[in-house]
Homo-oligomer: A and B are copies of this chain.
Amino acid sequence: MKTVTGFASATVGNVACGFDVLGFAITEPGDEVILTLHDERSSDCPVSITSIIGDGGALPLDPKKNTSSFVVLKFLEYIRTTKGIAFDGHIDLVLKKNLPLSSGMGSSAASAAAALIAANELLGSPCSKMELVHFAIEGERVACGSAHADNAAPAMLGNFILIRSYHPLDLITIKPPANLFCSLVHPHTELKTSFARSVLPKSIPLSTATQQWGNVGALVAGLLMEDYDLIGRALVDVVAEPKRAPLIPGFVEVKQAALDAGALGCSIAGSGPSVFAFSSSRQTAETVGAAMQQAFLHSKASLASDMWVSPICSEGARIVSKTP
């Protein structure tokens, strides 16, 4: 029995100005998916979920409804139809969830990317990561209703990923500056992506849009020119953050605490409630993260939180172990 364990880490979508087009991966925490290959099919569906650890029973065990197994099914269908690889065996799936659900940390994307990198390895690596990323994005549709790529793409590919276009999918990898560190703080409250999307306007003033794309261009320039000050100045979101900040108790105080502690910039991670900040050294990022946690704790809602400090992950989803 061949067994492969895949890992994919937390990701932050939007990155302030880059609403729906930008995301990045950090190195930890992340989800693990352990796949075991059997020669014989043991049910109608070629993938079964053996267990899910760490979700508190929240995620579905139906392989067609769970993101991690759903994307493996999509992958099997793809290699059968486009590469002529018929799969007659069976895959048992164990999902170790280390990422909190509905946290804005790309939880579903991490499960999908970990499952896909493991499935690909299990079947002899027929696909490139760039092929796999399509299924990871499809997984987001199952998880939260829309096939957005700003978590799924960096979960699979690492780095910053800019989504130039969805149709056709055009993903640009942007390598981060060496000293860029992320402080990611997850307050102990949930915010559904679908609700966080519902507060956004359907249309925005052209002048607001212009401000936003000036900042998107500047953020990309700052990353590629390794200009930390410019990265900080460009971390401005005039579209989503003003609408979503009121949904996160203490956000205003947390952001101010991050900036006061020396962060380059601070905004909502994905659709929240997690909040991220960038700093130009690990030491500053540690100080910033601690200040953000204190601010959540001392805000009206007195929220406890978890906090991680991490560089940008350059690798993306990876295999952590395999037998034999």
Contact = CB atoms under 8 A, between A and B. Distances in A.
Interface of A: 17-22, 162-165, 170, 172, 174, 200-206, 209-221, 224-225, 230, 233-234, 236, 239
B221 A172 contact: yes
A173 to B, nearest CB: 9
25 contacts: A17-B213, A18-B213, A19-B213, A21-B214, A162-B218, A164-B234, A165-B211, A165-B215, A165-B233, A165-B236, A170-B218, A172-B221, A203-B203, A203-B204, A204-B204, A204-B206, A209-B239, A212-B213, A213-B213, A216-B217, A217-B217, A217-B219, A217-B220, A220-B224, A224-B224
A277 to B, nearest CB: 20
Contacts of A239: 206, 209
Contacts of A236: 165
A203 B219 CA distance: 24
Contacts of A170: 218, 233
A224 B217 CA distance: 11
Contact of A206 (B200, B211, B215, B234): B200
Contacts of A206: 200-204, 239
A7 B134 CA distance: 51
A165 B91 CA distance: 53
A170 B229 CA distance: 12
A223 to B, nearest CB: 9
A40 to B, nearest CB: 46
Contact of A205 (B172, B203, B213): B203
A22 B211 contact: no
B211 A209 contact: no
Contacts of A221: 162, 172, 174, 220, 224
A166 to B, nearest CB: 8
Contacts of A201: 206
A37 to B, nearest CB: 39
Given A205-B203, A224-B221, A210 B21 contact: yes
A219 to B, nearest CB: 7
Nearest to A240: B206
